[in-house]
Structure 1
C-alpha cells in the first residue's frame, strides 16, 4: 500500500525540520569553518562539527562525505571574495603590479570575514596533507598562478611560488604566530616594503 511518504536518499538520517534543507547545509559549512580555524584539521572531527552545528553526524556525511571534503567545502566557499584578486592585479600599469598584488592579497587577510577561513587553511596545512593541498590550489593555481600566467616573463610558475612564499610567510607570522612587531605594524608599511620585492619577482627578466 502506498503511504505517500517521500523516500529518503540512501545514507541520510531521518528528516527533522531543524536539521535539513539549505539552511542546515549552510550552518554546517559555517560551523566547520569555525571549528577548523579554532582547532586545526587534526583536532576537528565530523562528530565535533555536527555537535557544534546541532545536527546528526550522518547529515554532515550526507552533504559533504569525508572530513577532507567538509574541509575543502568550508574553505572554498569563503575564498570567493579573493578570487577577484588576479583580475585586479593584472589590470593597470605593469610597473606597479607588485604593489597591487600586495595590497589585494593582504586586504583579504585584513578583513575578518575572509581571514577566518584563511587561518583555518594555514593552521591545518602545517599538519595535514589534505589541508596543504587546498592551500596550494588556492594560492598557486587560483590566485598567484593566474597573475603569473598573464605576464610575459620566463618561469611564471616559479615566480608565483616565490611570491607565495613571501606573502604566506608574512601572513603566518602576522596572523597565526602573531610575532611582534610584525603583528601590530600598520599594513601600509608592510605593503611599502614588500611591493618592490614582489615587483622584481614578477617582472624582472
Structure 2
C-alpha cells in the first residue's frame, strides 16, 4: 500500500499522534534549555528521531512549532500585525493593546494555563524566548537608537509586560485585576513607550 506521508527515519513506525507528541516533547526540552534563537529544527528532529521534513509537515515554521510547544491557542503573527504596522511613537500603545487583547479574549483560560505551567516549572526560558524572539524580535531594530540599546529596551519592555501579566492575571491584585483594558492601557503604555523610544540614562555597550 502506497503512502504520501513523509517517512520517518528507518526503524521507527509510531503513529501520527505519537510522532507529534515526540516532536513537541523534544521541542520543549530544546527551547527550554537553549532558547528560541539557538534551537534548530534539525536538532529537535534528531532528538525526536524523525526526519526534519516531518516537523515542517506537522508544524510549518520554527515559530509555529514554538507556539505549539508552549500550547498557545493562536498565531502570534496575526496578533502582532497591528504592532508592526504602527508608527514608532505608537509602539507602546499598540503592543500593550495587542497583548492585553489576547489575554482578555476567549483564549484566556488556555493562555493562563500555559503561562502558569511555564512559570512554575522549567519553562521560564520559554517565556523569555517567547517575549524576546517572538513578540519583540521585529521591534528591536526599530528602537535601536542609540545603537546598542535595542535589546535592553526590549528587555525593559518584557519586564514590564511580564510583571503586569503576573500581577493582573496570576496574583489578581485589586484594583489592577478589575481595571478595563481601556483604563489600563493609558496607565502602562507611556512607560513602555519610554522604554522603547525615550532617552535612557545609560551609555550603550559597544563591542570591544
TM over 0.5: yes
Secondary structure of the structure 2 residue equivalent to 1:146: coil
**1:180 shift after superposition:** 1.4
- In the alignment, what sits opposite 1:78? 73
Larger CA Rg, structure 1 vs 2? 1
CA separation in 1, counterparts of 2:194 and 2:168?
23
Is residue 148–residue 160 contact of structure 1 (8 Å, CA) maintained in 2?
A: yes
- In the alignment, what sits opposite 1:119? 112
Query: Equivalences for 1:1-205 in 2 at 5 Å?
Result: 10=12, 12=14, 25=17, 59=18, 62-65=19-22, 68-69=25-26, 73-75=68-70, 78-80=73-75, 82-113=76-107, 115-129=108-122, 131-154=123-146, 155-205=149-199
Between 166-175 and 115-124, the greater mean CA deviation after superposition: 115-124
- In the alignment, what sits opposite 1:28? none
Could you list the runs of 5+ residues in structure 2 that have no partner in the other structure?
29-65, 200-208
- In the alignment, what sits opposite 1:52? none
CA separation in 1, counterparts of 2:23 and 2:87?
45
**Of Structure 1 and Structure 2, which has the larger fraction of its residues in helix?**
1
Compute the TM-score of the two structures, normalised by the length of structure 1. 0.62
CA separation in 2, counterparts of 1:85 and 1:149?
20
| CA shift digits 1:87-145 (9 cap, x unpaired) | 422423322221111111111111122x334323321222323x222211211111112
CA separation in 1, counterparts of 2:171 and 2:13?
41
Is residue 83–residue 91 contact of structure 2 (8 Å, CA) maintained in 1?
A: yes
**1:184 shift after superposition:** 1.0
Compute the TM-score of the two structures, normalised by the length of structure 2. 0.62
Could you list the runs of 5+ residues in structure 1 that have no partner in the other structure?
14-20, 26-58
When residues 156 and 85 of structure 1 are mapped into structure 2, their CA distance, relative to the original with a 3 A threshold, is: farther
RMSD: 2.9
When residues 83 and 203 of structure 1 are mapped into structure 2, their CA distance, relative to the original with a 3 A threshold, is: same
CA separation in 2, counterparts of 1:192 and 1:162?
18
